[in-house]
Structure 1
Amino acid sequence: MPASLEPEDESFEGWTPDDGDNDAAYVDKPTRRGRSGRKRRKKNDDGDTSCAIPGSSFLPAVSLQPLLDFLASKHASVDSEDATFDDVAGSVLAHYAKRRDELEAQYERDDLGRPYSLLSSSEENNLIGILEARSRSSLTVAEAIVLRKLKVQGHLRTHNLPRPLLRPKPPAALVGLPPAPRRPEPDPEVLRALYDVRTTPYRSSFLSRLNGFVVHRSPVVTADWEARSPWMDLMEDIRAHYALKLYGLLLILERPNADEQSSPSRAVVQESVAPITYMTLTAEHLPQVHDILHRSFWSGIDVSDSLQHVPEKATIVAMYKCLVVGCAILSSPIETYITYLAVRAGWENAQIATAMLFHLINRNPNKDITLHVSANNPAMLLYNRFGFKAEEFIVGFYEDYLDPQSRLSKNAFRLRLRR
């Protein structure tokens, strides 16, 4: 057994050998020696500072003297000759605690209180070189974002631009709110006119809204919230890209004290979701309807007279917000001949033509509906799904109407939906 483990006298009462086992065991007994006993365990008579595990006689002793010598050599204030472990550790811990406080004072802290430090320009350049050396396809989303942010920071540093303020700093002291502007006094003539009103017309009263009274008949037929056209998807992608560029690049140049009205973030228009609405043709729709028909067929088309032939039965218009995206028109409710059915370019594959034809047929029940269609027009498949049958083939039907460079055939089929 090493000398550091042998009990020197009866004062080492915390350790007693076991008669039936080679190992040793600790017995929890209070010592009477107090401080002198603890010092003897810390350093023996030979001056050797060592540590061993009591109760395990087969393990060698571990000396702490090399560690103490090394720490004492690093700190001149500690004498390595008579220094104990507590003396050396106390000096070392005090030194490193002071050094840690100095380093943490140089760091900034995030919302969770964790310290962090900004990369230097050389470290940023090295990291950018490492990321750009890899293939663009092999970069993860997080790595691509880091690469982009590092390039933006380099651009700011090169042009001596201020870094963006991620969150506003709270004021050092609370300040009072500015006094509210005094409201102007109401016009006495307006008040007198309001007081003179004794009765409200029923059509403008709250009771009419409760009872469901409708003064003007709404031209809206139905609204489709599920249809999505290629134009809608394209506009959504453009708005998302524009917002990303604006918030990701332009906002870094935004000054913290910039005027709110001149802020670049106000340039992004928040687009609201709207359905495709089907309604009756009105005079406000005519300019856009004529534009669609001129682009789809030929110039010179005018359907203004459709407003005089019961438009509730002979017309249907597809609207997205204030934009006319399609129209279908009968010559009259008596003749029931479809003169025009067109959809704006970019709004295909949204079932707009199908919906317009469906509502147009339902508005004229128990009547045969006829039309002419070009021989190679894909709309032939749409009409076949609704039950239209070809009754006649006319050669050169569109000879005087279609442009010579048009890809549509000048020949036409005459179709009929028999009811």
Structure 2
Amino acid sequence: MPPFRRASSKNEDEAYVEGVPQAKRQKGNSGRTVVPCPNMRVTRTSMSLDGLLDFFRTEIENRTPDDLTSGPEEASYFERFMGSVLPECLEIRCQVQDSDSRTDNFGTLLRPLSRYEVSAAIKYASALGAAALPLPAQATILRKLQLRRERRRTDIQGLDFVNHNSLTSVPPQLPPQQPPSGIFDSLKSIRTTPYEMSFLSRLCGYRPSTDSGLVAVDWETRSPWIELMTDVRNHYSYAHPASSQSPEGPVPIPIRYVSLQPSHLQQVHELLARVFWDGINVSDLLQSSSERCSVIAMYGKIVIGAALLSSPQEAYITYLAVRAGWHNSQVATTMLYHLIMLNPHKDITLHVAANNPAMLLYNRFGFKAEEFITGFYEDYLDSQSRASMNAFRLRLRR
């Protein structure tokens, strides 16, 4: 074995030089002795003997009877020396560890890790690699151990202070417990207050929706009836200049297209009676899918048009009517468009009188005549009616 020579150092760590022949030493700028040899290998290690003590203790404990009967003559001088001083060193180490130990809040006796134990733990964790994904707590502990070792290697003073009074162990993990059987039933039985009746609605305000079943809103259409009402207001303001009039004029009202609601039934029945015949009742649409079978045009609270299907399954247009004064305003076109879009991927059929101008409207949407029926409206129209009793059956194929 090549001789070892120990060089002087300023800290606890010592520098050992292995296999260095005697050479002339010289002083560097730092004042530390330097050996000018190109093959020199200097290793900075710890003065802690924990690893060495553990090694020799393991060797002694693992000796076989043959090793014991072979006699002390075969053992080296170093081994005999370590065998004589090892018990005393182990006893002193236990005393030092006991003095550094503290009791945590759970009554567990804890002590700081030695340098050897820190290096062994880091080496063991690094050997595992990516074979096992560490828990977050384990990864945090490993990073702290590596940081502590690097601080010692770089001789950073004052950053490796450990408050032994703060040592604590991981609290015991309690097994998962199933909640009581009735806790979920109790949670589900909690009744909440609707927003419109809650205290929050009183703070933030609540405005009930007036557009139930809203389909579309039109702010641009100007019908003959709207123009007539504008002229009436202007004539009144000219005739009564002293009366209070809003300088901005009347607030514009849009045309809203909505689905059929119970409040619309009376006006819808009156509209259909004027356009078609008496006795029409469409209240059964409220029990079916009214949001898919009806489009009602509203100006304010006035029903100005209605487009109705018999049912979503049959997709048969029963009525399409527009209030007087709202013709040629694209109201019927808009209602028919939305009614078709509410029922996609289905053929839509209808019957129309042979002399009804609505035939042109249906043709623009792609309806094609499939059948001509004579006397289709004889049971519905009066004999003196100007409308034709004959009808075409139209279909829109999808």
- Taking structure 2 as the reference length, the TM-score comes to 0.48
Larger Rg computed on CA atoms: 2
- Taking structure 1 as the reference length, the TM-score comes to 0.45
